[in-house]
Structure 1
Amino acid sequence: MASSHSNAYTEKLLHIQAQQWLSCCLYVACKLNISDILSEGPKSLHDLATATDSHAPSLYRVLRALAGEGFFEETANGEFVMTPLAIGLTTNAPGTMKQYYQLCMGELYAPWGALLYSTQTGKPSSNHIYQMDLWEYYTAHPDDALNFMESMTRLTQFTDQTVVAAYNFSQFNSIVDVGGGNGELLMAALTIAPQLQGIVYDQPYVVEQTKRSIAARGLSDRCQALGGDFFQEVPPNADAYMMKLIMHDWHEPEAIRILHNCYKAMKPGSKLLIVDAVIPPPNIQHRGKLMDITMLTVTGGKERTAAEFKLLLEAAGLQFNKVIDLSVPDVSIVEGERI
């Protein structure tokens, strides 16, 4: 019996460790644009190495490992070809994870590796490693900043339709998407609620790209992008304010400050929608519990339970109304209101 138990946990632990190595290989494939290149057709190792400025024997070892996991396929004549899994690593595929892998295995990888520091100090290991917080890092590294914004957009696109299907946006005439990035969630709401006018409010460096995204969707007459700092103020007098994956970036003092700025901008009866993970009770598997470790190591923020969201809203002067669970497990809608 003891041998059977030890075999089970040994196998599980070895599998978990192998996933880290696999993620590193996927990061290399993303950075070298392997899927984009193979989307043009089969390529020899020599062609791939030349196109990516790589050491061919070393590139082969990475591709061989990925092919063994179903990413790419090595043919009998030594060429590599795409597989259905590899489509998810191309730049513009629906649901692509390319930008997200570049984020997680790029600037977030070293902070995760220093989790012990965060565990023992309660401080973000990212600040310790880079000697600046994440937002200062992105100011200094604009290419990484744009990839971060794109990865957040791509990562959450599949949740947007679930959110707008689960909530009645037709009750509003105006809404502000606070920290809305490219505005994908807001534009999804505008599509199903034709009377709705919207503002995407985010850092000035994302505004021009967001304007292009809005124009590409034909929504420029109903939606605008404004740059600003939600620690200072947010646009006033909207019927609703929405934040997707914003609150988890910040610990209580900063989170309350953002929420209080929303409170000051809101009218009596205005709603606040927080789209974020809501942590379930102990011993239940949930990706939010691992995302919470990213918040610990990288931003200093946290994922929260429903009770913690209630305390947070009330501290900012808002009423906590309810949590709406969605069919996708990663996020829920927390509804608050200014009374």
Structure 2
Amino acid sequence: MGTGFWASKVLLAAVEFDLFTLLAERSPLTAGQLKQKLNLHCSDRNMYDFLDALAGFGFLSRQGILETATYANTTDTDLFLDLKKPTYVGGMLKMLNDRLYGFWGTLEEGLRTGKPQNEARHGGNLFDNIYQSPEQLENFVNAMSSIQVGAFMAFAEKFDFSKYKTLTDAGGCSGLLSILVARHQPHMSCVNMDLPGVTAIAEKTILKAGLSDRVKAVSGDFFNDAFPAADMVVMGNILHDWDEEQKIGLMRSAYAALPEGGVFVAIENVIDEDRKANVFGLLMSLNMLIETGTGFDYTMADFDRWARQVGFGSTSLLHLVGPTSAAIAMK
């Protein structure tokens, strides 16, 4: 565990170099060819170690050894880590490398002070800082899309949409969830709500998906503006950004936007009640300390308590994929 960052940094460096994109275009390649094309100036032995570690982890396939070795993508890396494929999930890995790797280096300070350790360390908040730069905002949106796509796809396929016709995704970022729901559920119409800078990105994504007739992007601040009325209100990795009072406030806004029989869904890394099985959920909760200072991930019992406080009736949990589930509350 203590040396775990060694392994993660090898992967993150490979993604930063777009190594897998290069190999998707032209492979197999030798270590020498890769070193030249990536403009790396380490020794040949360093390069062998780097590439063979990636092969040992299962990210590369290798034929031969040392100077006779050639390297190529595996099936998974070719599908998920080639920047030019629509299945690319490297956006989150690039953000981990560019932002969170350094910020997690001061986890101790975050635990000592309870203060965020990111761009907001000296004032403001995460979102104010990120939204100041169009490039940084786009990178953040790409990261959120890449870490959520598997869970959103599972939700679009597993959830029973037969009773519903309209959906509002509050804090919907690039519009990915709405796009996937509309694509898998032809009877559904969706509205993606986010701040103006993000809405401009969502509009392009929706247009590219060819779903502008059933997916709309609207601007709004979910702390100050009413949610667009819909049969369903969904939040993907939103509640965990905020403290308990703010979480309940957002759930109240969702409740107000729903008709009787409507449903609120929070897609998160819901922590198990014994707080020992979903370790990723616990780590994501610590990441909220790093990012926001007051946010945290939660158990289904927490969600149920908040939902009933707001006025929702029954609640349930739908496992989606990996550590991620949909916490569901019926009005």
Contact kept? 2:166, 2:188, Cα under 8 Å: yes
Match in the other structure for 1:330: 323
Deviation for aligned residue 1:177: 0.8
Q: Counterpart in 2 of 1:298? A: 291
Alpha-carbon displacement from aligned partner over 1:65-100 (angstroms, at most 9, x marks no partner): 323433333745456422315424322446544222
- 1:42 shift after superposition: 3.0
Summarize the alignment of residues 1-339 of structure 1 with structure 2, pairs less than 5 Å apart: 16-39=1-24, 40-57=26-43, 59=47, 61-72=49-60, 73=62, 75-76=64-65, 77-78=67-68, 80-84=70-74, 85-87=76-78, 88-93=80-85, 96-126=88-118, 129=121, 131-282=123-274, 284-286=276-278, 287-300=280-293, 301-315=295-309, 317-338=310-331
**Deviation of 1:23 (Å):** 0.8
Contact 1:318 1:337 in 2 (8 A): no
Query: Which AA in structure 1 matches 2:286?
Result: I
Q: Find the aligned partners of 1:269 and 1:336 in 2 and give their Cα distance.
A: 10
Q: Unaligned 5+ residue runs, structure 2?
A: none
Aligned equivalent of 1:12: none
Matching residue's letter, 2:102: A
Deviations 1:262-308 (A, max 9, x none): 33433444321111122112253212122111112222311111221
Provide the rounded CA distance (Å) in 2 between the counterparts of 1:327 and 1:257: 25
C-alpha spacing 1:92/1:309, structure 2 compared with 1 (3 Å): farther
Cα pair distance change 1:322/1:166, threshold 3 Å: farther
CA distance in 1, matches of 2:286, 2:184: 35
Alpha-carbon distance between aligned partners in 1 of 2:55 and 2:302, rounded to the nearest angstrom: 44
2-structure distance, mates of 1:185, 1:165:
11
Counterpart CA distance in 2 for 1:61 and 1:147 is 30
Q: Is the 8 A contact 1:38 1:80 kept in 2?
A: no
Q: Following the alignment from structure 1 to structure 2, what is the Cα–Cα distance between the partners of residues 298 and 323?
A: 28
Structure 1 residues 91 and 271: CA distance shift in structure 2, 3 A: same
- Alpha-carbon RMSD across the aligned residues, in angstroms, is 2.6
Distance change (3 Å), C-alpha of 1:25 and 1:142: farther
Contact 1:166 1:326 in 2 (8 A): no
Q: Structure 2 vs 1, CA of residues 30 and 132 (structure 1 numbering), >3 Å: closer, same or farther? A: farther
Percent of aligned pairs sharing the same letter: 25
Amino acid at match of 1:239: D
Question: The residue matched to 1:263 in structure 2 has which SS?
Answer: helix
8 A Cα contact 1:201 1:225, kept in partner: yes
How far off its partner does 1:172 sit?
1.6
SS at match of 1:17: coil
Give, as a single letter, the amino acid of the residue that structure 2 aligns with 1:333: A
Aligned length, in residue pairs: 322
Whether contact under 8 Å (2:30, 2:71) holds in the other structure is no
Secondary structure, counterpart of 2:328 in structure 1:
strand
Deviations 1:162-218 (A, max 9, x none): 223332212122111111122222222223433321111122222233223222332
Amino acid in the other structure paired with 2:40: S
SS at structure 2 position matched to 1:105: helix
Post-superposition shift, 1:242?
0.8
Q: Which amino acid in the other structure matches residue 58 of structure 2?
A: G
TM-score relative to the length of structure 1: 0.84
